[in-house]
Structure 1
């Protein structure tokens, strides 16, 4: 393994070195960096041109300019752009904005896409499978700029107008109830009578839920409250226990249920401490939650102690996330009033000169992140859904899966421990490229939503024929591609012991 990593690092270094030279030369030859100044009619025209020429060393041959840039990189200096701004500062701001924009969207797309793809594979040729396949192909075919524009129109402008009187029309309630019924029916396996019953239950529950939300004007002043937090926590406890240990052994289930109950109680007991916390305090609460859940899993787990710890930690973190979401929702009404009733933003990363408490500041960031994240998720979700479905279908037909079933192992063990782990191998390659790619920013999304990230840094550098920011972009993205591909190779050996890297 060590020899493999060292060999890959040496090869990658020389590949990056050659690539930086090519990119630098192509950028320098792509246009005239003095073009805008040649059209300047001010008396300082000659002085400005001389200053920029000296700053960019335009009187030096391009290969020598590259060697000078390379020497600065070795010393940790990214140089300045054509206007004299420090590229290191520009890069740090752009990278921070890009990670804020695309990291959460990519993680959500991967998680949700893999889960939906696995369920679709296990329910092959069912109504759910056909629906997911159709939706994935539609989303994958949509142009990103069009999706972004539609989201700005209907999820921001129209939605902000609707929040002034957040009542749901009867026709919309019926449509949402039908959608809920179809989802319940598609997720239910078995005979037609059972699926029709699930459709009726889903229709009734969805219709009642949206009717209550409309009558109580919940969207104007939202919140979850301890009852819903506890309900979500208990459902999560059952779900995580089923995935981790199954419901045959009660120890893991009891520890997860206790974690959900403690989380719901803490949402009320810790109320004063959560009034205006800091991120350091939130991280502290998260670490404390994990420590308590590990103790609960260890105490209740018995022979299934490891699985109990996994299920309990996941339940505790999920319940904590519900508490965090509840506090965010409680601050929504006050935040909406401070931004003139337009909580969903269509441009920028934050409201200029906005001041508020912890929850209002995070709501402001979330309101600006919502639309670009949704645009990225819709497109990426389709890819991961199709890849994970195809991978799981291939793995489920392998001999070792049939052998595991023949041994009498529970279906949960067959799917989670045998099929899913091996099905992740091709998806790992896709994830490595995606995580490396998101570092480079989302050029179209950043342009549509006015986001000053890595994509903006790159396109602006190209437009201005300015190699310094372009090369800073390339150094970060190129290094990320090398590192994440190496991580993917290492994960192959972990997921499949038959793979040897040395």
Structure 2
């Protein structure tokens, strides 16, 4: 493994070196960096031109300029752009903005896409499978700029207007009721009568839920409350137990249920801490939650102790997330008043000159992140869903999966421990390219929503024929791609023991 990593690092170094030379030369030859100054009619025109020529070393041959840039990079100096601004500072701000924009969207797209793809594969040729396939192809074919504009119009402008009187029209409630029933029916496996019963139950639940939300004006002053947090926590306890350990042993189930109850009851106890916390305190509470859940799983897990610890930690973290979300929603009404009833923003990363407590500042960030995150998720989600479905269908037909079933192993064990692990191998390649690519920024999304991230920095550098910012962008993205592809190669050996990197 060490020899493999060393070999890849050496090869990647020379590949990056050649690529940086090509990009530098192409950028330098792409236009005239003095074009704007040549059209300047001010008395200082010649002085400005001389300053820029000296700053960008335009009187030096391009290969020599590249060698000078390479020497500065070796010393850890990114230099300055054509206006004399420090590129390292620009790069730090742009990278921070890009990570804030695309990291959450990419992680959510990967997680949700893989889960939906696996369920679709396990429910092949069902109503759910056909629906997911249709939705995936529709989302995959939508232009990103069009999706972004539609989100700005209907999820921001129209939704902000609707929040002034958040009552759901009866026609919309009827449509949501139908969608809820169809979703329940599509997720149900069995004969037609069973699916019809699931459709009826889903329709009733959805209709009652949205009617209550409309009558109570929940969207104007949202919140979960202790009963809903407990219900979600108990559902997560059962789900995580089924996924990790199965229900044939009671120890893991008791541990996860205990974690859900303890997490729900901790919300009133931690009232003073959660009034205006810091991220350091939130991180401390997360570590405390993991420690308590691990101890609970160890004490009650019995023979399935390891699985109980994993399931209990998942339940505890999920319940803690519900408590965090409840506190965030409780601050929504007061935040909406401070921003004049426009909580969903259409441009920028934050409200200018806005000050508030921890919850208000995070709602402000979430309101600015919502639209670009949704735009990126809708496009990426389709890709991960289709890849996950195809990979799982291929794996589920392998001989070792049939052998596992023939041995009498539970279906959960066959899917989670045998099929899912090997089905992740093609997805790992896709994730490596995607996670590395998003560091380069979402150029279209950043332009539509006014984010000054890596994509904005790259486009501006090209327009100004300024190799400094372009090379800083390329150096970060190129190195990230090399690193993530190496991580993917290493993960192959972990996911499939048959792969040997030596």
**Counterparts of 1:199 and 1:268, CA distance in 2:** 37
Distance 2:95 2:404 in 1: 46
Match in the other structure for 2:84: 84
Query: Contact 1:226–1:268 at 8 Å: present in 2 too?
Result: no
Q: Does 1:272 align with 2:272?
A: yes
Residue 21 of structure 2 corresponds to residue 10 of structure 1: no
Output one character per residue of 1:76-116: Cα deviation in whole Å (capped at 9) or x when no partner: 00000000000000000000000000000000000000000
Q: How far did residue 272 of structure 1 move? A: 1.3
Give the conservation status (yes or no) of the 8 Å contact 1:160–1:343. yes
Report how far residue 319 of structure 1 moved.
0.4
Per the TM alignment, residue 21 of structure 1 is displaced from its structure 2 partner at its CA by 0.3
Q: CA deviation at 1:330?
A: 0.3
Q: Counterparts in 2 of 1:186-335, with a 5 A limit?
A: 186-335=186-335
What are the equivalent positions in structure 2 for 1:476-491 lying under 5 Å apart? 476-491=476-491
TM-score (norm 2): 1.00
Q: How far did 1:481 drift?
A: 0.3
Structure 1 contact 297–305 (Cα < 8 Å) conserved: yes
Residue 338 of structure 1 is matched in structure 2 by 338
Aligned to 1:176: 176
1:98 and 2:93 are equivalent in the alignment:
no
1:360 aligns with 2:360: yes
Distance 1:364 1:44 in 2: 44
Distance in 2 between residues matched to 1:303 and 1:439, nearest whole Å: 44
Runs of at least 5 residues in structure 1 that lack an aligned partner in the other structure: none
1:191 is displaced (CA, Å) by 0.6
Q: Counterpart of 1:371?
A: 371
Q: 1:474-495: CA deviations, max 9, x gaps?
A: 0100000000000000000000
Aligned residue in 1 for 2:144: 144
Instruction: Quote the Cα distance in structure 1 between the aligned partners of 2:180 and 2:40.
Output: 62
Give 5+ residue unaligned stretches, structure 2: none
SS of the residue 2:219 aligns to: helix
Work out whether 1:55 is the aligned partner of 2:55.
yes
Q: How many residues align?
A: 502
Partner of 2:28: 28
CA distance in 2, matches of 1:306, 1:36: 66
What corresponds to 1:452 in structure 2?
452
User: 1-side partners of 2:302 and 2:42: how far apart?
Assistant: 81
1:196-252 alpha-carbon deviations (Å, 9 max, x no partner): 100000000000000000000000000001111010000000000000000110100
Distance 1:152 1:93 in 2: 25
Rounded to whole Å, the distance in 1 between the matches of 2:190 and 2:453 is 49
Q: Distance in 2 between matches of 1:131 and 1:413?
A: 27
Match of 2:429 in 1: 429
The CA distance in 2 between the partners of 1:43 and 1:266, in whole Å, is 70
Q: CA-to-partner distance for each residue in 1:412-458, whole Å, 9 max, x for gaps?
A: 00000000000000000000000000100000000000000000000
CA positional deviation for 1:268: 1.0
Aligned equivalents of 2:408, 2:246: Cα separation in 1: 15
Paired with 1:356 and 1:222, the residues of 2 have a C-alpha distance of: 19
Residue 500 (structure 1) aligns with = 500
The whole-number CA distance in structure 2 between the counterparts of 1:325 and 1:52 is 51
Q: Deviations over 1:281-310 (max 9, x none)?
A: 000000000000000010000110110001
TM-score of the two chains, using structure 1 as the length reference: 1.00
Regions of 4+ moved over 6 Å = none
Distance 2:222 2:53 in 1: 58
Query: Could you tell me whether the CA contact under 8 Å between 1:237 and 1:256 is conserved in 2?
Result: yes
- d(CA) in 2 for partners of 1:44 and 1:124? 71
Q: Distance in 2 between matches of 1:36 and 1:303?
A: 74
The Cα RMSD (Å) is 0.4
- Within a 5 Å distance, the mapping from 1:383-398 to structure 2 comes to 383-398=383-398
Instruction: Tell me the equivalent position of 1:114.
Output: 114
